[in-house]
Amino acid sequence: MTDTRQKLIDFISAEAVFHGDFVLTSGKRATYYVDLRRVSLDHRVAPLIGQVILDLIKDVPDVVAVGGMTMGADPIAAAVMHQGAARGANYDAFVVRKEPKDHGRGRQVEGPDLAGKRVIVLEDTSTTGGSPLAAIEALLKVGAIIAGVAVVVDRNTGAREIIEAAGYPYYAAISLEDLGLN
């Protein structure tokens, strides 16, 4: 395990894991909740997230952009874009809205033109796989080629299986075991 990845695990464990009674996206109940927005927007942690995700996707060929459903994926994509630039990697970022805008250009996918380009769909914490699949649906409409889905924390609640069953590679940086939540 890299020092950077361990630092990220430590930050998430200390500042983004909450214990109690929570309802997940799936409707199921859980005794803990991982709220990555608590750390993905933190100046100390965002660079770590960018570096860890870069390490996770470094062997995926010809990827030109990263992003996913707003809001969870937005800081992750920005971190990857900025840390990639610091390493000499040229990843652009994109944002997928839940619905196309009802004004302006009416876009659902914001950012660079992705037609014919390989992209990685990002998610902060995976539960059902629904958010990445919704982002993929919107991205396919603009002609993007999906190279895979990368998540910071995999809750091990079936998202991997759902994404892979849909035909996309799934990459997870941190597991529940890494956070001591198994």
Q: Is residue 144 part of a domain?
A: yes
Q: Is residue 180 part of a domain?
A: no
Spell 85-118 as b/e; 16+ CB within 10 A means b.
Answer: eeeeeebbbbbbeeeeeeeeeeebbebeebeebb
Q: Is residue 94 part of a domain?
A: yes
Q: Is residue 37 part of a domain?
A: yes
Q: What is the pLDDT of residue 77?
A: 98
**What does the alpha-carbon distance between residue 43 and residue 74 come to, in Å, rounded to a whole number?**
15
Residue 42, domain CATH: 3.40.50.2020
Q: Is residue 16 part of a domain?
A: yes
Q: Is 55 exposed, middle or buried (0-12, 13-18, 19+ CB in 10 A)?
A: middle
Q: Is residue 96 part of a domain?
A: yes
Q: Is 136 exposed, middle or buried (0-12, 13-18, 19+ CB in 10 A)?
A: buried
State the residue range of the domain holding 78. Answer: 3-175
Asked whether the predicted pLDDT for residue 1 surpasses 80, the reply is no
Q: What would the pLDDT profile of 22-59 be if each residue is shown by its tens digit?
A: 988 778 888 999 999 999 999 999 999 999 999 999 99
Q: What would the pLDDT profile of 136-162 be if each residue is shown by its tens digit?
A: 999 999 999 999 999 999 998 899 999
Task: Please give the mean pLDDT across all residues of the chain.
Answer: 93
Q: Is residue 39 part of a domain?
A: yes
Number of domains in the chain: 1
Mean of the pLDDT values across residues 87-101? 90
Phi, psi (deg, nearest 5) at residue 139: -65, -40
Q: Is residue 181 part of a domain?
A: no
